[in-house]
Chains A and B, each alone.
Chain A
């Protein structure tokens, strides 16, 4: 097995680093305080082809495989998890899903815009009353002639107030997962509205919205996949999405580690750099080992996807470990920084606030353990 990167992958990583250091890192404090990134960043990511990774060129994408995608996500995650999340959702959860399940017409209609950054997408699964238990969602789509009429509300939707396209999951049949269908809904459709959710602990730079669909009418061609296939589509999207979150978390943990190493060698106490104290080195070593392990888990998922092998459980493992590690690493970084870690002059406090949501969304840590447990035992502990 050869874990070295090709020349092109190194060049991709270097470009991503350079881009992140110049276009993202200098702005993170301001974007965090303003509770919004400068949305021009989306177009810039589109210009260099990052929003089209893994999408074929004939749909406006830039090609590339899932390892390329993870290398990019690690670098963006190192810079700012808000930006990483915007990409994860628009490209990772929506564009890739349209590519996999869409008709030729749907792909032509949506992919070029999403890949260039001219448009942005959101993924509407969670509802006020159904989070982990997404298969019981309540939004309803009713057939009316050649159209579907959708009613319901969606909670905590990333890109929710910025998106041009919403991938909406709604019930078209009976209870449970088999009654759910997926729809590609332009957010300008009459009856579609959104409210910004303010006051988030972290990821303050990205928009998180509550969506309301009040008799939203879409043509039959807006359905993605077939009737009743929606939940399977959502889970397939989230399997890949978990790799995306995990890759971003490797970047976040690396940022926390890099900042800690730099600070530990610069800060003197008791007449020497704090890096010279064994208890500080222990924190740094723990962060480094767990972060490298997370990266290897992420790369394994990418490799499985690129070789078209089953990857669901590997994705859950990567997501579980990488997200828990991101929280730990950011928390340890604050410990290394002492009081200076507690103020936003330094980025480590933001790393912890941003990291905290990673063990919650796209399947909580508990849900990942249930998925891994079910794969190990063949017994579902969900109900």
Chain B
């Protein structure tokens, strides 16, 4: 019958129309500014720099290694390395970024900086309402605008942040163990130097130790592993 197809289509539209009165799932519109969806945890928008503790300057994790600057596909990161060093979370002396700028008008939110960062310093934020009337300065964020606390990171990506904290805690423990081991070794050395007679004969015992244990100082053999981290 001519017109049958049209009627069929109209029935489908009617089913959807009346369906929206009984089935909430058919009401798909979100009244945006008043009503918002929670973003999924994986959601990403623009990079932030993380810091530990209360002070963004002292606790900034970035050590200015400039890997992200090199790997960034649109080259939107600009870093100037510091001349001096400051201690990082494990107490090791590290460089820090004197300048760390991200031009978010160039950034394409690809997350490659996050993937290549070996220090868990750069992460992706979720904020998206970022309109500004100043398209040059207003979209060039310096390190103070980019710095966000670790607590903030926990609020946006909880699972990822927990994993990251765990990894860093392990690193810290390893670093402490290493420091303790090297301190002990130094102490032993000092004792040896003070009292050469008490020290074991250098050749025979050392040789036998190496041959029986396979590796020398057990603390040391673990250390390099904790230092080498997956940067791919």
Q: Is this pair of chains taken from one and the same complex?
A: no
